[in-house]
Amino acid sequence: MNNDVISSPRPLARRGPLGVLLLAGGIALALAGLAATVYRLKEGLGITHLGSTVPWGVYVACYIYFIGLSAGSFLLSSLVFVFGNKSLEPLSRLAVFQAFVCLILGLVFIFLDLGHWERFWHVIAYPQWHSVLAWEIWFYNAYIVVLLLELWFLMRSDLSNWARATGGLAGKIYRALSFGFRCPQTVEEHARCEHKTLRWLKILGIIGIPVALGVHGGTGAIFAVVKSRPAWYTPIFPLVFIISALASGGGLLLFLRVFVAPDPKVDRQILPDAAKLVAGFLIFDLLLLFLEFLVGIYGGIPDHVRPYLLMTHGPFAWVFWGQQLAIGAAIPLLLIFARPAGSKYRTKELGIAGFCMFVGIFGVRLNIVIPALAVPVLHGFDTAVDSPRLASLYVPNWVEWLSSWGVAATGVLVAYYVMRKLPMREHQPPPGGAVVSKPSLQS
Amino acid sequence: MVIDTRRCVGCRACVVACKAENKTPPGVAYTVVLEGALEPRIEDKPLFMTKPCFHCENPACTVVCPVGATFKRPQDGIVVVDYDRCIGCRYCMTACPYGARFFDYGDNYPAVSEQTPYAQVPSPEYQQFRKREKCKSPIGNVRKCTFCVHLQDADGKYDKHAGRWPACAKTCTGKAIYFGDFMDPESEVTRLLRERPAIRLKEELGNDPNVYYLL
């Protein structure tokens, strides 16, 4: 019997004492952070440390960070659906789910950054088509549709099986989520259906690739078209966004697979290759960073060089050297590539490497947004009027950090809860351990 | 607008006059006086320059606005902000190469926060006469110099002698700020540009600013 039952022993990683601690901490952070978020929305942006010299700060950094995580993991999943990559295939559901959650988080952050958040609908109602930001809104809308459709195609047969195997409210929810799809019960029909699903996923993947490139490359273009900030104004910028998205999205995917939704037997097979692929994107990203510095510093145009000097020698140089290069690049590359010959990969190490990558890319995001703005557009502008709102030194205050952490923690907790209730791996048994039999048994 | 840096003594009366006219809050100054934005003069005298919005022919700020809340008026070329349309995303602030845009974070001078009679007088900006209230526009919006557009008459004309003239130019103690119509070949500003060499800031960007500096 056991051979016929498609089951993994554990639906998702069981929570150890550390997990419980993390969960409790996460809930506390989410509650405190949501209070800070409500405070921010009620009081306006005046309670932040943003100003008129540095008008964008942590919220915008979080926005491009999460949009990047989303686009990166989506593009990795399309390697499976469109290009037939096998090593990433078991990760594809997780990747698409992660893409959806991160997109929503990114949009929450840009909402949180608006001076008049109650007018967010203006971007839909009064689009101004010369604005890259207006294009992006429509890319995001199209992207949400692609992601939801992909998720449905990926999970519909498991969901319909779960709906049959589970009773009560959960069963009803699974039925509703399968949107009337019924998994065929004979082997032939099932194979035909799977084939159809794969074809749809390929079509959606093909549509999704330009959309996801538009989503994050376009987010890069928001910055790249701004000629008043020479460090942003480079055609390499949209590409930097896409490549760093692949590195951070891949890193998060490795981490989640290893520590939250593992499948040890499969993981030992596929994760080393997946990790090398993601590390390849990280190396590509470092190359782009080198090119940016090379061209900018070689040219020596003062306004172009100053943001780089701030990054590498300013008060937050540790973000560049420590978070971005040491944690975000050196450690994961050592973990993945610097190994004694012939030694076996431990999946935990790959998960940690992934963790370092997505932590490091957050430093990249901060260094994209802030240093370029912290250099005043005209010499002396920041001191022309005696006001902290014109200061070129921007240090985010507790409201900004707490509300950001709160939004992120809430997103992670909700996603974690939903993840435990959804078939994140193929043919995973429903929560509660009910057993779903292979279709072959009933043919 | 033409600004004669030889006549500017750096007294900042223009900054104060602008604040009094438009009732701008702390951290919002439609014009600021810069020192050192340009190289000092050969004879080592200081060079001050007042810097309002340049109301560029090709503004970099208006094209990036996702909702069309800021635009260049077709009739007179003044770049304005529709406070009721603006969502406060601040993209225009990053795009302006001249630091002409300020976000209204809702800060107040004591005269306003303590609700003195001064706080009861609304700002005449855009002839909208808005009073400062928490989270109500223009708080949460991007603000900028309007060339005191509210002082135009119904036909869109300024009148220097009637006092309907941009506050900075009206106040300037050294008479360094000249305001007028570049389309009119006989206007004071056009004559000045004909007679004296003038520069504009960051001309290489192609924004084509409408404020010139005489050195």
Q: Which residue of B has its CA nearest to A389?
A: B27
Q: What is the pLDDT of residue B1?
A: 95
Confidence of residue A427 (pLDDT cuts 50, 70, 90): low
The answer to which of A378-387, B37-46, B76-85 has the lowest mean pLDDT is B37-46
What angle, 0 to 180 degrees and rounded to 10, lies between the N-to-C axes of helices A347-374 and A58-81? 140
Average pLDDT score over residue span A309-329? 96
pLDDT for A262 beyond 90? no
Q: Whole-model pTM? A: 0.93
CB contact under 8 A, A44 and B35: no
Substitution target in B64, B72, B92 with the highest count of A β-carbons within 10 Å is B64
Q: Are A244 and A67 in contact (CB under 8 A)?
A: no
- Selected residues 46-75 of chain A with any CB under 8 Å from a CB in chain B: 46, 48, 50-53, 55-56
3-state secondary structure at position A149: helix
Average pLDDT, chain A: 89
The pLDDT tens digits for A107-127 are 999 999 999 999 999 999 999
Q: Are A158 and A97 in contact (CB under 8 A)?
A: no
CB contact under 8 A, A114 and B89: yes
Residues of B in contact with A388 (CB under 8 A): 27
Sign of CA dihedral A238, A243, A249, A251: negative
Average pLDDT score over residue span A403-409? 96
Return the number of other C-beta atoms located less than 10 Å from residue A158's C-beta. 24
Substitution target in A124, A378, A390 with the highest count of B β-carbons within 10 Å is A378
Average pLDDT, chain B: 94
pLDDT for B166 beyond 60? yes
CB contact under 8 A, A227 and B34: no
Q: Are A397 and A48 in contact (CB under 8 A)?
A: yes
The answer to which of A19-23, A129-133, A338-342, A396-400 has the lowest mean pLDDT is A338-342
The pLDDT tens digits for A42-82 are 999 999 999 999 999 999 999 999 999 999 999 999 888 88
With pLDDT > 70 as the criterion, what percentage of chain A qualifies? Answer: 93
Using CB atoms, which residue from B32, B91, B105 is nearest to A384? B32
Residues of B in contact with A119 (CB under 8 A): 85-88
Average pLDDT score over residue span B111-128? 92
Q: What is the pLDDT of residue A3?
A: 35
Confidence of residue B152 (pLDDT cuts 50, 70, 90): very high
Average pLDDT score over residue span A262-289? 92
CB contact under 8 A, B103 and A55: yes
Angle at A312 between CA A307 and CA A315, to 5 degrees: 85
Average pLDDT score over residue span B158-169? 95
For chain B, say whether A378 makes contact (Cβ under 8 Å): yes
Tokens coding A241:
């966004």
Using CB atoms, which residue from B66, B103, B205 is nearest to A127? B66
Q: What count of CB pairs under 8 Å joins A to B?
A: 160
Residues of A in contact with B101 (CB under 8 A): 52
Helix, strand and coil percent figures for chain A, each rounded to 5: 75, 0, 25
Tokens coding B201:
């800031």
Confidence of residue A12 (pLDDT cuts 50, 70, 90): low
Q: Which amino acid does the sequence have at A346?
A: R
The answer to which of A30-44, B29-43, B185-199 has the lowest mean pLDDT is B29-43
Q: What is the pLDDT of residue A441?
A: 37
3-state secondary structure at position A438: coil
If DSSP states are collapsed to H, E and C, what string results for chain B? CEEECCCCCCCCHHHHHHHHHHCCCCCCCCCEEEECCCCCCCCCCCCEEEECCCCCCCCHHHHHCCCCCEEECCCCCCEEECCCCCCCCCHHHHHCCCCCEEECCCCCCHHHHCCCHHHHCCECHHHCCECCCCCCCCCCCEEECCCCHHHCCCCCCCECCCCECCHHHHHCCCCCEECCCCCCCCCHHHHHHHHCCEECCCHHHCCCCCCEEEC
For residues A52 and A420, what is the distance between their CA atoms, to the nearest angstrom?
A: 44
Confidence of residue A5 (pLDDT cuts 50, 70, 90): very low
Distance from CA of A353 to the nearest CA of B (A): 35
- Selected residues 111-150 of chain A with any CB under 8 Å from a CB in chain B: 113-117, 119-120, 122-123, 126-128, 130-134, 137
The pLDDT tens digits for A170-221 are 888 888 888 878 777 778 888 888 888 889 999 999 999 999 999 999 999 9
Category of A370 on φ-ψ map: left (φ > 0), alpha (ψ -120 to 50) or beta: alpha
Substitution target in B53, B89, B199, B200 with the highest count of A β-carbons within 10 Å is B89
More confident call, A358 vs A190 = A358
Q: What is the pLDDT of residue A418?
A: 87
Residues of A in contact with B90 (CB under 8 A): 55-56, 115
Q: Are A98 and A71 in contact (CB under 8 A)?
A: no
With pLDDT > 90 as the criterion, what percentage of chain A qualifies? Answer: 67
Q: Are A70 and A94 in contact (CB under 8 A)?
A: no
Tokens coding A358:
């997505």
Residues of B in contact with A52 (CB under 8 A): 27-28, 93, 99, 101-103
ipTM for this prediction: 0.94
